[in-house]
Amino acid sequence: MSIQEIRSMYKEASMNEYQGFIQRFEKDERSGVQKLVSAAREKLAAWEAEKQRTYEMMAYERKHEKCRYICGIDEVGRGPLAGPVVAAAVILPKDMDIYYLDDSKKLSAAKREELYDVIMEKAIAVGIGSSDEKCIDEINIRQANFIAMREAISRLGVRPDILLVDAEHIPGVDIPQESIIKGDAKSVSIAAASIIAKVTRDRYMEEMDKRYPEYGFAAHKGYGSAQHRKAIREYGPCEIHRRTYLKKILEELR
């Protein structure tokens, strides 16, 4: 076979086919073929590492393996100057085969979108809740966050047996909970919730960018970037800004 044909085989091979590719061509002495064999070995090694990482991220799920429905909960949007806080609750199947789950902040926007679709397809249940900027201003971000989390749980469609929560204990919920510091990097269920919440909120802020294009919400999603702060000083706050987060900026405008 020509190197071009072998290269085409490499490009079209699935992860399960790399080992056979390596065995077939590892004795081919052509440097171009050996480079492809080395690349296949690297991909296999990376895949094995990802499977191990995912297994380690299922430690809390294994801890509660007697529970039928294990629900991960996370939120996004505590820090922005505008827009809602969004929480997600996700119940993954026991034989979960979703890989590359992680803290949503560590993933690219494209990877989050890809995983969002996979999670929505494979999850047993997904619930999403939110509290808007007016609620945040009225009762503070932490209490608004709890409202969003309780709403997400209520929208699951099934009752969880245990809640795995990222660094919080949700009041007013009669379901056992375990709070996990940095849980979105330690639990696949919480990581999945983190991704659902992040994509949901980002999509909302992109819609708000169409309504209020002068603020650049699509770029910074409401966080306090230099561009965003400059726009607030120039145009003043819009309907979705959190007034309690803008005290210093608004004082400068007086």
Any domain includes 123: yes
Phi, psi of 193, deg, nearest 5: -65, -40
Q: Give CA–CA dist 109/220, Å, rounded.
A: 12
69 and 33 in a common domain: no
Q: What is the model's pTM?
A: 0.93
Reading phi first (left if > 0) and then psi (alpha if -120 to 50, else beta), residue 100 is in left
Any domain includes 113: yes
Any domain includes 224: no
Q: Give CA–CA dist 180/43, Å, rounded.
A: 32
203 and 125 in a common domain: yes
Any domain includes 103: yes
188 and 127 in a common domain: yes
199 and 75 in a common domain: yes
Tell me which residue range forms the domain holding 40. Answer: 3-56
Per residue of the chain (254 residues), what is the pLDDT tens digit?
999 999 999 999 999 999 999 999 999 999 999 999 999 999 999 999 999 999 999 999 999 999 999 999 999 999 999 999 999 999 999 999 999 999 999 999 999 999 999 999 999 999 999 999 999 999 999 999 999 999 999 999 999 999 999 999 999 999 999 999 999 999 999 999 999 999 999 999 999 999 999 999 999 999 999 999 999 999 999 999 999 999 888 877 66
